[in-house]
Amino acid sequence: MFTQIKNVMILGGRGNLGPCLIPSLIKAGFNVSVLSRATSITSGEKFHGATIVKSDYTMASLIQVFTGQDAIISTLSTANIAEQKIVIDAVAAAKVKRFIPSEFGSDTSIDGLEEMAPFLKGKQDVMDYVKTKEVEGLTWTALFTGPWIDWMLIEGKGLLCLDIKSKTGELVDGGRPKFTTTTVSQVGEATAAALMHFDETKNQ
């Protein structure tokens, strides 16, 4: 299948989500690399089939490693807004074709979300900054996946009101409300599909 994207780099690729994206991206035929600043590994090593690339996350270093990449996928924490902005500036400066910000959760474009979920303000601030780079030619795709059900059951520490060890749970509003969820493997498949449908997923 023809695609404008071939070389894909994941930021935060050794965290919770990154390793789950790699198999789907490789299966789709992309050349996948993972950016790392860990001192315990070296550039060129393999991680889940992806090539490790090192950076100290300075502007100059990021521009250097981003040059030649077609897409950058961020799975970094949005808690550090300053670092996120440096990444976005470098993506734009390196003329990367597509940036996928670290969304992968609730739809942060919903009006009034900041009041309902103030912890998502960082993601909103990052998205607002990404959009300012459209005039420089940067395109982006935000993936609102909802919670990752398999990860939350194992690592969510009660976020679903379930205690796996004791096999107990809390019924919210009597168990009647419904919510949308996904699995981490489906997030990987959706990410790969978004890159394969380059024009259809531009700036949305």
b/e code 1-31 from CB counts within 10 Å (16+ = b): eeeebeebbbbbbbeebbbbbbbbbbebebe
d(CA 165, CA 174): 22
Tokens standing for 129?
A: 């900054």
Residue 15 pLDDT greater than 90, yes or no: no
d(CA 12, CA 35): 7
d(CA 29, CA 39): 29
What is the per-residue pLDDT for 1? 45
Task: Give residue 192's pLDDT band: very low, low, confident or very high (50, 70, 90).
Answer: very high
What is the per-residue pLDDT for 158? 55
What is the per-residue pLDDT for 117? 66
Per-residue pLDDT of 27-63, as tens digits, reads: 999 999 999 886 657 666 788 889 999 999 999 999 9
Q: What's the chain's average pLDDT?
A: 84
**151 neighbors 15 (Cβ within 8 angstroms):** no
Name the burial class of residue 42, with classes exposed (0-12), middle (13-18) and buried (19+) by CB atoms within 10 angstroms of its CB: exposed
Mean pLDDT of 69-82: 86
Task: Write down the CATH number for the domain with range 7-145+184-196.
Answer: 3.40.50.720
**Better-scored residue on pLDDT, 197 or 1:** 197
Which of 34, 4, 33 shows the shortest CA–CA distance to 98?
4
Task: Delimit the domains of the chain by residue range.
Answer: 7-145+184-196, 147-181
Per-residue pLDDT of 115-174, as tens digits, reads: 766 666 777 788 889 999 999 999 999 988 777 777 777 765 556 667 777 777 777 777
Which of 57, 26, 20 shows the shortest CA–CA distance to 148?
20
